[in-house]
Amino acid sequence: MNSFSSHKSDKNEDKSQAPKKCGFVAVLGETNAGKSTLINQMVGYKVSIVSRKIQTTLTRILGIALYENSQIILVDTPGFLRENSVESLSKTAWDAFRESEDILFVVDACKKNFDASVKLLQKIDAAKRVSLVMNKVDVIHKPKLLEISMMFSQVRHFENIFMVSALSGNGVDDIVKYLSSIVPDGDWLYPEDETTDSSFEKYTSEITREHIYHRLHQEIPYKCVVKTENYQNQKDGSVKIVQNIYVKNNAHKIIFLGRHGSKIKAIGEASRKELSTLLGKKVHLFLHVLVSVK
């Protein structure tokens, strides 16, 4: 199965007969700047997980946004492995960056220190078209926002500066409209009803991984591996999904399971409910915690 399709509503149902347009846009920024939330809002469907944990985007995930005759392929990129270390940015992030002529550079406007963001911004090729996206502006006073945007504008030229709240969606449509106007002419690379290039297995695994972060917090390393090993569509229209969670040792397994299996049960219940909502069908989810043999 090459990709996972889902039904979504277009930003504008009345598409013109103008030539189709299609292009890649990379989304860069520090860890937890709100990149995944922004992509989900632009796509209109959850395609990238959101967590307070650092480095939750372990692999590149494409979100596909439509506006009128334009298909905008958004490349989600991992943030920093360590805070304030530009050198630790993963190869996946830079590969996605190199493929995209246009960059959305996302900044958490609530941060007190922007040194790491500035260092990352300075590494971007001057030939790239970069737009600054200041996120969480709904909780910052306007004079402070102006001060921050002027500081970043001294580092490099921006095609646009967007003030948004990725969580509420305020201002996000302006970004979509802008990107639809600048992506090049060309046939769409994905079917109209696809929101991501992730396989069903990868997509469903990511949802469970997100709920692991929310439930376990600091109790266990966040680099556990979740794999959807099997799924079967049932006669009643539901789907049975079997997932394995691989951890490093028995001590981690005990933490995952919790007292009388309470934690893994809570993780499974939360993931099952969200998957049922996202997939639009009843989900039977079975989780197994295994110690990795590697």
Confidence band for 277, pLDDT divided at 50, 70 and 90: confident
Q: Are 111 and 150 in contact (CB under 8 A)?
A: no
pLDDT value for 40 = 86
Tokens linked to 194: 């696809």
User: What amino acid occupies position 71?
Assistant: Q
Q: Specify the length of the chain in residues.
A: 294
Predicted pLDDT of residue 72: 92
Q: Which CATH architecture has domain 21-182?
A: 3-Layer(aba) Sandwich (3.40)
Residues 97 and 84: beta-carbon distance below 8 Å: no
Sequence ranges of the domains in the chain: 21-182, 200-291
pTM for the complete prediction?
Answer: 0.67
In the prediction, which pLDDT does 205 show?
85
Strand partners, 63: 74, 196
Intrachain domains 21-182 and 200-291 with the same fold: no
Instruction: Name the burial class of residue 58, with classes exposed (0-12), middle (13-18) and buried (19+) by CB atoms within 10 angstroms of its CB.
Output: middle
pLDDT at 86 over 60: no
Note the pLDDT tens digit of each residue in 126-172: 889 999 999 999 988 989 999 999 999 999 999 999 999 998 999 99
Residue type, 19: P
Instruction: Answer with the residue of higher pLDDT: 221 or 32.
Output: 32
Residue 84, pLDDT score:
41
CA 268/CA 242 separation, integer angstroms: 11
Q: Which whole number is the average pLDDT over 54-75?
A: 75
Compute how many other C-beta atoms are within 10 angstroms of the C-beta atom of residue 182.
17
Is residue 118 over pLDDT 90? yes
Q: What average pLDDT does the segment 74-90 reach?
A: 51
- Report which of residues 24 and 151 the model is more confident about: 151
Average pLDDT estimate for 195-210? 78
Instruction: State how far the Cα of 48 lies from the Cα of 89, in Å rounded to an integer.
Output: 19
Residue 122, sorted as left (phi over 0), alpha (psi -120 to 50) or beta, turns out to be: alpha
Query: Residue range 253-261: average pLDDT?
Result: 89
Torsion of CA 40, 46, 47, 49, to 10 degrees: 90
User: Is residue 281's pLDDT more than 50?
Assistant: yes
Band (pLDDT 50/70/90 cuts) for residue 9 is very low
Q: Residues 232-245: pLDDT tens digits? A: 999 999 999 999 99
Query: Quick one: pLDDT at residue 79?
Result: 47
Q: Count the Cβ atoms, other than its own, within 10 Å of residue 130.
A: 21
Q: Are strands 161-163 and 129-135 parallel, antiparallel or unpaired?
A: parallel
Least confident of 8-12, 37-41, 132-136: 8-12
Task: Give dist(CA 104, CA 130) in Å, integer.
Answer: 6
Query: Residue type for 286, please?
Result: F
For residue 6, what are the contacts with CB-CB under 8 A and spacing of at least 6?
Answer: 45, 193, 194, 195, 278, 279
For the residues 92-115, what does the mean pLDDT come to? 80
Q: Is the pLDDT of residue 65 over 60?
A: yes
Distance from C-alpha of 65 to C-alpha of 68, rounded to nearest angstrom: 10
Alpha carbon separation from 234 to 157, 230, 284 (Å, rounded): 54, 13, 10
Distance CA 27, CA 130 (A): 10
CA-to-CA dists, residue 168 to 20, 25, 135, angstroms = 30, 22, 11
| Cα–Cα distance, 77 to 54 (Å, whole number) | 12
- Homologous superfamily (CATH) of 200-291 is K homology (KH) domain (3.30.300.20)
